[in-house]
Amino acid sequence: MKKGYFGDFGGQFVPELLMPPLLELETVLNEVVRTDDFRARLAGELRDYVGRPSALTRCPTLSERTGVDIWLKREDLNHSGSHKINNTIGQGLLTKMIGKKVLMAETGAGQHGVATATAAARFGLSCVVFMGALDVERQSHNVHRMKLLGAEVVAVESGTRTLKDAINAALRYWIAEQRSAHYCFGTAAGPHPFPELVHEFQAVISREARAQFLERAGRLPHAVVACVGGGSNAIGMFHEFLPDRGVRLIGVEAGGSGEPGCFNSAPLNLGAPGVLHGMHTQLLQTKEGQILPSHSIAPGLDYPGVGPEHSALQASGRAEYGLVNDAQALAAFQALTLSEGILPALESCHALAWVLENAAALKGQSVIVCLSGRGDKDLDIVEQNLG
C-alpha cells in the first residue's frame, strides 16, 4: 500500500510548504511517539491527570427495556469532559518533547479547543485555537473556557464560518508558523500522518474497553458502536477489536433533520470520494467538487469530511456506518439521562440512538457504546429543542 494510505484513502494533499512539517511529524511519530519512554510518560499522564482507565458502565434499565445488553465506555468521565483529551495530552506531550512552544488547533464544538488549551496549560505551551465565527457564537461557554485556560481564540470569518473553515485557517497559520508551532489536529483525519497519530492516541479507548468487558462478561461483545464526526472516538473504539472478526464495528453519522436532501454530516452514507484538508476520503460535495456545508444538532459532528481510515473500513466492509437524525439523538439524550442518570454529549447520543433504533435486531446481544463526552456543553441546545 502507498505510504500514508488506508486502501484508496488518505494521502498528503497539501501545499508543498506543508510537506516539511508533515515529514518531520512522521519522523516524530516513529522515533518519539512509538518509544517506550514516550509511552510510559503518556501512560502516567493518562492515569494521574486524565483519570484513566475510564469506567465501563452497564445500563441496567435501558438493557431491560430494550432487550439489548447495553454498556457504555465512559469517555465523559475524562478530565475536561470528552475523549478529545486522550489525543491532546498525547500531542501536547510530543510537542513538549520536540521543543516546540506553541500548540495550535482548530475546533468546531469547542471540545477539542478546550482539550488542547488544557494540554497546553498542563505542559506550559502557548495555545492558539481557530474556530468558525458561527461556532464562536453557538458555543460561547467553550470559548470562555479556552480563554480562561490561556488560549487565544481566533474567530474565522471565511467560508461557512464553521469547522471546515477553521481547519483551512489553521492550515494557513501552520504554513507560516511551522517552525515554532505544532498543529494539534483534533480528529483522525487530515493529511498523513495525522490519521495515524490520532489513532495511536485514541486506541486507549478500546484497549481498556476490550479488557474490561472480557473481565466482566467473560467474552467479547457482539458489537461496538461510536459516533463519527471526523472519526477519532470511533477509531479509538474500533482499534483493539479490528482483529476480532466476530465483533461488529458500527460508526454512526449525523443525518441532520433527516429530510431527504437536508444538510447532514454523513459523508460515508451520503457523500462521494474526493480531496479536502489533505486527504482523499468520502466528502459532502457537489458534482463539481465544491465542498457542501454540513449540519448536525451535535456541533462536534458537523463536518463535511471523515477520516480516511473510516472510508477504507467502509470500503472493505469491516465496519458499518449508520445514520441517526437530530430528533433520534435528542430522544436518546432523554432516555439515557432519565434511565441511567448520565447526561451524554449530543455527539455520543447518535451512537446510543442507533442502538435504540435497532434494538429489535440486536435483541439478546451485548453492545458497547462509546460515550465520547458529557452533555454539559450542550445544555443550551437541549433546552432550545426540548423546552
Partner 1 sequence: MNSLLTEKITAAKAAGRLGLIPFLPGGYPDKAGFWDVLAALDAGGADIIEIGMPFSDPVADGPVVEAASLQALEQGVNLAWILSGLAANRARLSAGIVLMGYYNPVLQYGLERFAEDAAKAGVNGLILADLPFEEAGEIRALLAARNIDLIPLVGLNTSRERMKLYAGNARGFVYFVSVLGTTGERTSLPDEVRQGLALARECFDIPLALGFGIKSPEQLKELSGLIDAAVFGSSLIRHLDAGGDAAGFMARWAK
Ligand X SMILES: Cc1ncc(COP(=O)(O)O)c(C=O)c1O
**Residue 268 near partner 1 by CB under 8 A:** no
Q: Which residues bind ligand X (CB under 6 A)?
A: 82, 108-109, 111-112, 187, 227-234, 300-301, 345, 347-348, 372-373
19's contact among ligand X, partner 1, none, with CB below 5 to 8 A by partner kind, is partner 1
In the block, which residue shows the cell 516539511? 20
Touching partner 1, residues 128-187 (CB under 8 A):
158-159, 164-165, 168, 171-172, 175-176, 178
**175 or 315, CB closer to partner 1?**
175
Closest distance of CB 309 from partner 1, Å: 18
Span near partner 1 by CB under 8 A; candidates 130-138, 221-229, 257-265, 283-291: 283-291
**Could you tell me if 289 and 304 are in contact, meaning their C-beta atoms sit under 8 angstroms apart?**
no
Interaction residues for partner 1, span 1-40 (CB under 8 A): 3, 11-17, 19-20
Our CB check for partner 1 shows the closer of 294 and 328 to be 294
Q: Which of 79, 83, 127, 370 is catalytic?
A: 83
Q: Which residues of 6-28 are buried (b: 16+ CB within 10 A; e: fewer)?
A: beebbbbbbeeebeebbeebbeb
Q: Which residue number, 24 or 376, has a Cβ lying nearer to ligand X?
A: 376
Binding partner of residue 58 among partner 1, ligand X, none, CB cut-off 5 to 8 Å per kind: none
**Interface with partner 1, residue 288, by CB under 8 A:** yes
Residue 345 touches which member of ligand X, partner 1, none, C-beta under 5-8 Å by kind? ligand X
Q: In the bound complex, what is the minimum distance in angstroms from residue 7's beta carbon to partner 1?
A: 16
168/187 with CB nearer ligand X? 187
d(CA 193, CA 308): 11
- Min dist. Cβ of residue 11 to partner 1 (A): 6
Rule CB under 8 A: is residue 49 a binding residue for partner 1?
A: no
Q: Does 300 bind partner 1 (CB under 8 A)?
A: no
d(CA 353, CA 371): 12
Q: Which stretch binds partner 1 (CB under 8 A): 196-204, 276-284, 344-352, 354-362?
A: 276-284
Residue 83 annotated to the active site = yes
| Per-residue three-class SS string for the chain | CCCCEECCEEEEECCHHHHHHHHHHHHHHHHHHCCHHHHHHHHHHHHHHHCCCCCEEECHHHHHHHCCEEEEEEHHHCCCCECHHHHHHHHHHHHHHHCCCEEEEEECCCHHHHHHHHHHHHHCCEEEEEEEHHHHHHCHHHHHHHHHCCCEEEEECCCCCCHHHHHHHHHHHHHHHCCCEEECCCCCCCCCCHHHHHHHHHCHHHHHHHHHHHHHHCCCCCEEEEECCCCHHHHHHHHHHCCCCCCEEEEEEECCCCCCCCCCECHHHHCEEEEECEEEEEECECCCCCECCCCCCCHHHCCCCCCHHHHHHHHHCCEEEEEECHHHHHHHHHHHHHHHCCCECHHHHHHHHHHHHCHHHHCCCEEEEEECEEHHHHHHHHHHHHC
Rank residues 366 and 372 by Cβ distance to ligand X and give the closer one: 372
Q: Is 289 in the site for partner 1 (CB under 8 A)?
A: yes
- Interaction of residue 275 with partner 1, rule CB under 8 A: yes
Active site residue 192: no
Q: How far is the CB of 236 from partner 1 (least distance, A)?
A: 27
Query: Between 12 and 142, whose beta carbon lies closer to ligand X?
Result: 142
Q: Does 66 bind partner 1 (CB under 8 A)?
A: no
User: Active-site residue numbers?
Assistant: 59, 83
**Chain contacts with partner 1 (rule: CB under 8 A):** 3, 11-17, 19-20, 158-159, 164-165, 168, 171-172, 175-176, 178, 274-278, 283, 285, 287-291
